[in-house]
């Protein structure tokens, strides 16, 4: 994926008059919008407020995709929203937002709709600099017009509005043209906007990968120049941003594009950033094998393990003679910086260390299948064992044992209906005159 030819200077990202696309000329239908989002929009409209769908939902529906979320923006302030919707709460320190939630009969967790007030940027002409200095969060909570709100958003394709009043699409920043041209373009001066919020660097890569768009030249130069500021992003926010990648299956592509722009070392520990050429294919295998789980904790532990594994394997290849205690010490050493960088909780650190322990037990020829199947992270370790040893020449002797266990493994509840047997390939057909199975080939720990 390479940057496009267009530049920021060639196309304005601020229009004097918005482009308005009437309902007959765009594909967004109320049938495609969540029922509860429609209820919110109409209650706001009927109460005299302006109410728009905003951001990714509008972008995705214009592209023919199904939105994951429906964000709403309005001229009602948070206190007015709280009075209008009893099923809501005001949240956020940096940005004051309102979450409106609906409990359904078939949902264990409520359906939440993020609702924000139109905002404008801080200006010396209109705002008291001393007040902002004393309360910095005020700069993020200055209410404004729809045009000002669109100008504050990150990329042109994310600044489109759908107006419930007349079902039109409203574009203040030339986002419709960029959507048609399949371009990621930041709104405003790239250096300034990326410096304001360095996480936009990763978001630019994410959208380019997820939508298969190209990054516009000046946007690409800006993200590369400001990527160093990612080192200062709080670990909790960085983890939250990355967890969104796992279920979208774009982590491998993002790392590849990050290599293209030479920025991965700004947000990943050196041990991992130096091994992305080996970890990217491994991540692609993870993304291809595992479904888009609702539980992104599962995908997080697999992703972090895949990032660590190539470097660990260079020092300690899977082999019978490897000392497990040395491997565990190396995993502990390499896990610490990525854990600090992403604020990994203790249960995830424990899970990743357990995966490595089980993986190297398998690599040493451990066939105590009953005992191994009782371990929580056995199937995660088995996945990496299969992928690594299948690509090894010659394959270790115990590879054929686990390949022959394919059907049994798939029947186990821990497999979660995934075909682990397929990771090993089909068992080789026995040749005529093949020696009988020896005791060493049999599972150990079995009940007779």
DSSP per residue, 38-50: HHHHHHHHHTT--
Check whether 220 has a pLDDT greater than 70: yes
Strands of 97-102's sheet in order across: 19-21, 168-171, 160-163, 51-54, 71-74, 111-117, 97-102, 88-91
Distance (Å, rounded) from C-alpha 349 to C-alpha 335?
A: 8
Answer whether 62's CB lies under 8 Å from 26's CB: yes
Structure tokens at 42: 């109409």
Write the DSSP symbol of residue 444: S
Give the dihedral of Cα atoms 119, 121, 124, 129; nearest 10 deg. Answer: 70
List the chain domain ranges: 19-171, 281-426
Check whether 375 has a pLDDT greater than 90: yes
The model's confidence at residue 163, banded by pLDDT at 50, 70 and 90, is very high
Structure tokens at 67: 């939105």
C-alpha closest to that of 161 among 51, 8, 301: 51
Distance (Å, rounded) from C-alpha 99 to C-alpha 88?
A: 5
C-alpha closest to that of 38 among 70, 5, 16, 6: 70
C-alpha 419: how far from chain center: 25
Q: List b or e across 265-276, with b for residues whose CB sees 16 or more CB atoms inside 10 angstroms.
A: bbbbbebbbebb
Check whether 2 has a pLDDT greater than 50: no
Given this model, what pLDDT does residue 387 score?
95
Tens digits of per-residue pLDDT, 28-65?
A: 999 999 999 999 999 999 999 999 999 999 999 999 99
19-171: CATH number: 3.30.460.10
Given this model, what pLDDT does residue 121 score?
77
Task: Name the one residue in this structure whose structure tokens are 């300034």.
Answer: 192
The model's confidence at residue 18, banded by pLDDT at 50, 70 and 90, is very high
The model's confidence at residue 139, banded by pLDDT at 50, 70 and 90, is low
Give me the active site residues, please: 69, 71, 154
Average pLDDT taken over every residue of the chain = 88
Tens digits of per-residue pLDDT, 173-208?
A: 999 999 999 999 999 999 999 999 999 999 999 999
Tens digits of per-residue pLDDT, 327-341?
A: 999 999 999 999 999
Instruction: Give ∠ CA 278-252-181 in degrees, rounded to 5.
Output: 135
Instruction: Give ∠ CA 358-364-370 in degrees, rounded to 5.
Output: 55
The model's confidence at residue 429, banded by pLDDT at 50, 70 and 90, is low
Given this model, what pLDDT does residue 351 score?
96
Whole-model pTM: value is: 0.85
By DSSP bridging, strand 51-54 and strand 214-215 are: unpaired
Structure tokens at 33: 């919008």
The model's confidence at residue 110, banded by pLDDT at 50, 70 and 90, is confident
């Amino acid at each position: 994926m390479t940057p496009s030819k267009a530049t920021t200077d060639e196309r304005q990202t601020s229009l004097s008059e918005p482009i308005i696309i009437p309902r007959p000329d765009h594909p967004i239908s109320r049938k495609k919008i969540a029922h509860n989002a429609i209820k919110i929009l109409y209650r706001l409209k009927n109460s005299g407020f302006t109410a728009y769908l905003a951001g990714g939902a509008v972008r995705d529906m214009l592209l023919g995709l199904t939105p994951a979320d429906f964000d709403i923006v309005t001229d009602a302030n948070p206190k007015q929203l709280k009075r209008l919707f009893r099923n809501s709460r005001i949240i956020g320190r940096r940005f004051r937002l309102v979450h409106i939630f609906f409990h359904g009969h078939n949902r264990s967790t409520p359906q939440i709709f993020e609702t924000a007030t139109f905002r404008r940027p801080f200006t010396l002409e209109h705002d008291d600099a001393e007040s902002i200095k004393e309360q910095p969060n005020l700069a993020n909570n200055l209410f404004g017009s729809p045009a000002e709100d669109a100008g504050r958003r990150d990329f042109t394709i994310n600044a489109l509005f759908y107006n419930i009043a007349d079902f039109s699409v409203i574009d203040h920043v030339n986002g419709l043209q960029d959507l048609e041209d399949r371009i990621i373009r930041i709104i405003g001066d790239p250096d300034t906007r990326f410096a304001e919020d360095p996480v936009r660097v990763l978001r630019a890569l994410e959208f380019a990968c997820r939508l298969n768009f190209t990054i516009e030249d000046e946007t690409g130069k800006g993200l590369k120049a400001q990527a160093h500021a990612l080192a200062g992003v709080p670990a909790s926010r960085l983890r939250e941003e990355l967890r969104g990648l796992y279920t979208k299956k774009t982590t491998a592509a993002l790392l590849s594009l990050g290599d293209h722009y030479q920025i991965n070392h700004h947000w990943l520990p050196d041990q991992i950033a130096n091994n992305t050429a080996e970890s990217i294919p491994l991540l692609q295998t993870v993304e291809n094998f595992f479904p888009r789980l609702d539980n992104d904790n599962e995908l997080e532990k697999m992703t972090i393990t895949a990032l660590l594994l190539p470097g660990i394997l260079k020092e300690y290849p899977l082999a019978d003679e490897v000392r497990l205690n040395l491997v565990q010490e190396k995993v502990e050493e390499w896990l610490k910086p990525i854990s600090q960088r992403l604020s990994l909780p203790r249960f995830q650190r424990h899970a990743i260390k357990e995966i490595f322990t089980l993986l190297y037990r398998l690599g040493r020829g451990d066939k105590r299948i009953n005992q191994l199947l009782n371990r929580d992270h056995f199937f995660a370790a088995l996945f990496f064992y299969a992928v690594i040893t299948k690509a090894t020449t010659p394959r270790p002797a115990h590879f054929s044992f686990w390949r022959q266990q394919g059907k049994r493994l798939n029947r186990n509840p821990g497999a979660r209906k995934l075909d682990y047997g397929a990771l090993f390939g089909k068992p080789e057909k026995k040749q005529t005159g093949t020696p009988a199975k020896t005791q060493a080939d049999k599972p150990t720990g079995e009940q007779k």
